[in-house]
Structures are given as structure tokens and as C-alpha cells.
């Protein structure tokens, strides 16, 4: 996607966020209202001004060279998917099983590690994490299955 266009969309999102925030703030009582209301009104106004400025700048950029800078979309989505997938696994199966599965599969498919190396890395990580958990009382996320 064109970076300038993505910036316009993101600024538009900021404008909507601040606008929603000040509309929501109108429902608070006076003492709870003043801070978020003024902050979000300022944000809403400023983001609108910046949005208009970027739109004008975007229209001025007529040459292909000026619009050449692009940002990746699919590739980041793939890795964001890994993160979200790992969290969903934890939510269902618990931390230890999910970490074992996630590490093994990721190291094989993304890191191109050999099976034995992946298994060894996974095992060492689990031992270290379990030891740390016991030694300094670290808790793991709760899961649906209670594992």
C-alpha cells in the first residue's frame, strides 16, 4: 500500500478515535469529564487539521516517484497471525502445551531449524521457564482447559 495513503487512513482513524472519546466523555459527570473531554477535543481538532494537511499534500504529489514509497501488508499480517495464534493456543490449551507447540512449529517452518535442534531448543526453553516460574513465583496465563 502507498505509505502516504496509509498515513491518511491512520490519521482518519485517530480523528475517529478522538471524536468518539469526546462524545463518550459528554456522558461523564463534571469532575470526571474535564480531563478526557479537553484532551480528546484537542486531539480531534488537531487530527482533523493534520488530516486535511496530509490530504492536500497527497494531491500535490503527482509524480510516480513521489508515490513510490510503499508499506508491506501481507507479510506483517502473517507474523501478527503467529502472535495471535499463539495466544489463542494458550487460551485453550494452557501455557506449557501451547509454548511447546508454538516453538516447535515456528522453529521448523519460519526459522528453518532442523527437527532435533527445534526439539532441543523447545525443551531447554520449557525447563528454563518452569524453573523461573518456581524460583521467582511467576504465574502463567489461565486456560479454558485449566492446564
Partner 1 sequence: MIESAIEALTIVLDPSRLIYMFLGIGIGIIVGLLPGLSGTVGMALLLPFVFGMDPYVGIALLIGMVAVIQTGDTFPSVLLGIPGTSGSQATIMDGYPLAQQGKAAKAMGAAFFSSLVGGVIGGIALFLTIPFAEPLITAFSSPELFMLTMLGLSMTGLLAGKSVFKGILAGLVGLLLGAIGSAPAVPEYRYTFDSLYLTQGLSLPVVAMAIFAFPIIITMLTDKKKVTEAAKLEGGALQGVMTSLKNKFLMARSAVVGVIIGFIPGLGGSVVDWIAYGFGKKTVKNNTFGEGDIRGVIAPESANNAKEGGSMIPTLLFGIPGSGTTAILLGGLTLMGLEAGPSMITTNLDVTLSIVWTLVFANIFGAILCLMLIRPISKLSTISGELIVPFLLVLLVIGAYQSSLSWGDLVVFVLIGLFGYVMTILDWPRPPLLIGFVLAMSAERYYWISIERYGWEWITNPLVIVLAVVILVLLTGGAIMKRFSQKVESGGES
| Residues contributing to the site for partner 1 (CB under 8 A) | 3, 6-7, 10, 14, 17-18, 21, 24-25, 28-29, 31-32, 35-36, 39-40, 42-43, 46-47, 49-50, 53, 71-72, 75-76, 79-80, 83-84, 86-87, 90-91, 95, 99, 102-103, 106-107, 110-113, 121, 125, 129, 132, 136-142
Nearer to partner 1 (CB atom), residue 29 or residue 62: 29
Work out the burial of residue 101: count CB atoms within 10 Å of its CB; fewer than 13 is exposed, 13-18 middle, 19 or more buried: middle
CA 30 from chain centre, in angstroms, equals: 34
Exposure string (b/e) for 69-93, b if CB count within 10 Å is 16 or more? eeeeeeeeeeeeeeeeebeebbeeb
Nearer to partner 1 (CB atom), residue 26 or residue 64: 26
Q: How far is the CB of 119 from partner 1 (least distance, A)?
A: 14
Nearer to partner 1 (CB atom), residue 53 or residue 115: 53
Amino acid at each position: 500500500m502507498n505509505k502516504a495513503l496509509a498515513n491518511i487512513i491512520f490519521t482518519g482513524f485517530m480523528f475517529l478515535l478522538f471524536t468518539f472519546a469526546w462524545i463518550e466523555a459528554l456522558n461523564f459527570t463534571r469532575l470526571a469529564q474535564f480531563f478526557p473531554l479537553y484532551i480528546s477535543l484537542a486531539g480531534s481538532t488537531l487530527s482533523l487539521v493534520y488530516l486535511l494537511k496530509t490530504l492536500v499534500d497527497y494531491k500535490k504529489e503527482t509524480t510516480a516517484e513521489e508515490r513510490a514509497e510503499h508499506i508491506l501488508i501481507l507479510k506483517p499480517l502473517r507474523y501478527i497471525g503467529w502472535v495471535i495464534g499463539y495466544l489463542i493456543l494458550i487460551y485453550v490449551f494452557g501455557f506449557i502445551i501451547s509454548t511447546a507447540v508454538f516453538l516447535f512449529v515456528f522453529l521448523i517452518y519460519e526459522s528453518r531449524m532442523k527437527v532435533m535442534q527445534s526439539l532441543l531448543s523447545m525443551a531447554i526453553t520449557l525447563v528454563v521457564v518452569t524453573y523461573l516460574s518456581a524460583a521467582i513465583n511467576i504465574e502463567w496465563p489461565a486456560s479454558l482447559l485449566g492446564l
